[in-house]
Amino acid sequence: MGKEHMSSQFDAELNGIRARLLEMGGKVELMIANSIRSLMERDSALAERTIAFDAEINAMEIEIDQKCLHILARRQPAAKDLRFVALALKIVTDLERIGDQCSSIAKQALELNREAQLKPYVDLPRMADAASNAVREALDAFVQGDAPTAAKVCGNDRFVDELNEQLQRELLTFMMEDPATVGRAMRITAVSKFLERIADHATNIAEMVIFMVEGKDVRHSSHSSV
Amino acid sequence: MGKEHMSSQFDAELNGIRARLLEMGGKVELMIANSIRSLMERDSALAERTIAFDAEINAMEIEIDQKCLHILARRQPAAKDLRFVALALKIVTDLERIGDQCSSIAKQALELNREAQLKPYVDLPRMADAASNAVREALDAFVQGDAPTAAKVCGNDRFVDELNEQLQRELLTFMMEDPATVGRAMRITAVSKFLERIADHATNIAEMVIFMVEGKDVRHSSHSSV
């Protein structure tokens, strides 16, 4: 087998990891959208399907991990390719945990859907959109080795944080004014925090991408995880 | 350089990663203990130091990542050693995020310490101890390739989950009975959830260790992240 053949085979394997990661990202985005939709539209069947769907994300994590180990063992990638594969191993774990958080949102939706709606959900879908966009942009930045896009994701993190803080304050007021709202308000608070954690995962991915591309570490400069 | 020499050099590098990971684990355990102690003893100076200490954990993440990339590039480990290094890359991220969560607990402590104590903190130190033990045992299982210890960590995860749920219910009752408690109760709720997330990280590590040792995947069978 000639060197060129080896090399194109190697590229095909790297592209395979890229493609599967993007696919996994697409499924995770769908989970984010569906978990919040199950709450907005009081669609508990959708919440149940979203919880069940998490198994698919989990299976993809294992599969992509295996692909990465395989390429490390057989192809001995160096420099940029090595950093790519090492980062894929970390990113896939972030994506899997986002799946867990969507599943947790759907579980809260199931409970919230059993009761009268406490308030119109205005901020939650905005947070979900922003978090979902952040995940997509962070992954795009990863597969394209695009540091400026990754930097943009890091910069946008405050938006979801601020919506989360604003919603927490609003729910606090509800609870203090009417104790009967406490149970529901606590559940909405939990949903809001899960969305904030999802956006945090996207930021974590983006920070690691900047490191991969530029070889410099911006992790732990803008990152907050409250 | 003879093969034996190469090999002992390689072992020394693997042991270096092991040692630094254990050291990082020790620092993270200290952060867990101090974050909760800053709340129990109303020691805001300790809370401040705990928040500042997170930078040390972050620096260790970057350093261990570099060690792992170096060994992958230069030593081309295979089979068990490869799985070890790949897992080290993932575990170091879990440890770093635990550091973030301790820092978040300390931030809540700063706020809680400004007000009268709402209730005696009985469950929080028990949760912190259990979470800290879980982190230590999961790391020990990793460096020793010890699947039974890892399985024990996974089995114990319910303990922290149950204490968290119990505390949430108790705080809910406080809030419903007296709106003046809502602010503090929400903060204690947040601390409890951070501890539960720390225990989750330990469980995630333990599940990955079982996979590394036995080559079979127990991830996503016992894992919950609500």
The residue of chain A nearest to residue B73, with distances taken between CA atoms, is A78
Residue with tokens 């795009």: A140
**How many degrees, rounded to 5, is the angle at CA A60 between CA A59 and CA A62?**
70
Closest CA to A68 of A124, A14, A108, A147: A14
pLDDT in tens, B116-152: 999 899 999 999 999 999 999 999 999 999 999 999 9
Q: How far is B133 from chain A (nearest CA, A)?
A: 22
Please tell me whether the interface predicted TM-score (ipTM) of this complex is above 0.90. Answer: no
Q: How far is B108 from chain A (nearest CA, A)?
A: 9
Measured distance CA(A140)–CA(A219) in Å, rounded: 18
Q: Is A110 on the interface with B (CB under 8 A)?
A: no
Of A158-162, A211-215, B120-124, the one with minimum mean pLDDT is A211-215
Contact yes or no for A61 and B226 at CB 8 A: no
Contact yes or no for A69 and B86 at CB 8 A: yes
Which CATH architecture is the domain B3-214 placed in?
A: Up-down Bundle (1.20)
* In the predicted structure, residue A221 carries a pLDDT above the cut 60: no
* In the predicted structure, residue B41 carries a pLDDT above the cut 90: yes
Contact yes or no for B172 and A182 at CB 8 A: yes
Which residues of chain A make contact with B35, given a CB cutoff of 8 A?
none
Average of per-residue pLDDT values in chain B? 91
pLDDT in tens, B103-118: 999 999 999 999 999 9
Evaluate the CA torsion angle A193, A199, A205, A211 in order and state its sign.
negative
The residue of chain A nearest to residue B190, with distances taken between CA atoms, is A226
Which residues of chain B make contact with A58, given a CB cutoff of 8 A?
219-220
* In the predicted structure, residue A44 carries a pLDDT above the cut 60: yes
Q: CB neighbours (10 Å) of residue B180?
A: 12
Measured distance CA(B42)–CA(B219) in Å, rounded: 38
| Domain extents in chain A | 3-214
**How many degrees, rounded to 5, is the angle at CA A31 between CA A26 and CA A37?**
125
Closest CA to A81 of A97, A68, A94, A91: A68
Q: How far is A182 from chain B (nearest CA, A)?
A: 6
* In the predicted structure, residue A217 carries a pLDDT above the cut 60: no
Taking the CA atoms of residue B47, residue B52, residue B57 and residue B63 in that order, the dihedral angle to the nearest 10 degrees is -170
Name the residue among B73, B186, B189 with its Cβ closest to that of A78.
Answer: B73
Measured distance CA(A214)–CA(B36) in Å, rounded: 38
DSSP B101: H
Q: Is B226 on the interface with A (CB under 8 A)?
A: yes
Name the residue among B58, B107, B182 with its Cβ closest to that of A220.
Answer: B58
Amino acid, single-letter form, for residue B21: L
Q: Are A160 and A127 in contact (CB under 8 A)?
A: yes
Closest CA to B194 of B95, B120, B127, B110: B127
Name the residue among A176, A224, A225 with its Cβ closest to that of B179.
Answer: A176
The residue of chain A nearest to residue B220, with distances taken between CA atoms, is A58
**CB-count exposure of residue B215 (10 Å: 0-12, 13-18, 19+):** exposed
Q: Is B215 on the interface with A (CB under 8 A)?
A: no
Q: Are B46 and B37 in contact (CB under 8 A)?
A: yes
Evaluate the CA torsion angle B18, B19, B20, B25 in order and state its sign.
positive
pLDDT at A1: 44
Interface test with A, best of B90, B175, B210 (most A CBs within 10 A): B175
Average of per-residue pLDDT values in chain A? 91
pLDDT in tens, B171-191: 989 988 998 999 999 999 999
Amino acid, single-letter form, for residue B110: L
pLDDT in tens, A56-70: 999 999 999 999 999
**Half-sphere exposure of B135 toward its Cβ, with a 13 Å CA cutoff?**
32
Contact yes or no for B179 and A180 at CB 8 A: no
Closest CA to A61 of B208, B80, B93, B206: B208
Structure token pair of residue B8 = 């002992």
- Percentage with pLDDT > 70 across chain A: 92
Q: Are A109 and A38 in contact (CB under 8 A)?
A: yes
Measured distance CA(B155)–CA(A31) in Å, rounded: 28
pLDDT in tens, B47-94: 999 999 999 999 999 999 999 999 999 888 888 899 999 999 999 999
